[in-house]
Amino acid sequence: MFTTDNLQEIFDVVDLNDHVIGRATRKECNSNPNLIHRAVFILIYNDKNQILWQKRSLTKDTVPGQWVTSASGHVAAGDDYEQTAVREVKEELGIEVSSLEFMGKFLYRYRTENEYSAVFKARSNGPFHYNREEISAIRFMTIAEVLKKDREKTLKLSKATHYIIDSLSLSDKRNYGNNIA
C-alpha cells in the first residue's frame, strides 16, 4: 500500500501507566498491539459551536478516507501531548491555536495497535489551509449532524472518533452546547 506517512518515524513506546519504556518506528507501532504509543486528537470549535471534521486522505496509513476529528497525529519520540497537538493543527490545518484545553486521555485498543490518546479542544473560524496529503475534505458540523451522516452512510467515522464522541456525550453536556446527540 502506498502511503505518504513516514513509516520510519520514531515513537516513544509506553507502558500501561503511560511511562516511556522504549522506542519503535511508526510501522512497528502500527502493526504490533504490544507496543503502546501516543497520539493526539484535536477538536476545533467555531463561533457557532460546531466542530471542524476532516476526511483523511486515501494515502494515510491508518483509516484512509474516514472522517476524524479536526486534527490528529502520533506523538514523536521525546515530544509531549500538548506540543504535538499544536504542531498537528499547524501541519494539517495551516493555523496556529492560541490556547488548547485538555479534555482527557484514554487508552484505545485497535486490532493491530494500541495507543494512549489525549484529546484537546480549541477555537477557530479559520480560514484553514489544510494539507492535501493528509486531508481530502473538511467541514464544520455538530456531533448530531456527523452521527446522522454516519448512520445514513454518507460519511464513515473512524472507530476512535466514535469513541471520542461517546466519551463527550457522557460528559457534562453544558460544556458542549448543542453538539451532543
Tell me the CB-side half-sphere exposure of residue 116, using CA atoms within 13 A.
Answer: 20
179 falls within a domain? no
156 falls within a domain? yes
2 falls within a domain? no
177 falls within a domain? no
pLDDT in tens, the chain (181 residues): 566 656 689 999 999 999 999 999 999 998 999 999 999 999 999 999 999 999 999 887 778 899 999 999 999 999 999 999 999 999 999 999 989 999 999 999 988 899 999 999 999 999 999 999 889 999 999 999 999 999 999 999 998 899 999 887 644 333 333 332 2
3 falls within a domain? no
180 falls within a domain? no
What is the residue range of 150's domain? 10-170
Q: What CATH number corresponds to the domain at position 141?
A: 3.90.79.10
Cis peptide bond prior to 127, omega within 30° of 0: yes
1 falls within a domain? no
Q: Based on the structure, what is the number of domains in the chain?
A: 1
144 falls within a domain? yes
pTM for this one? 0.88
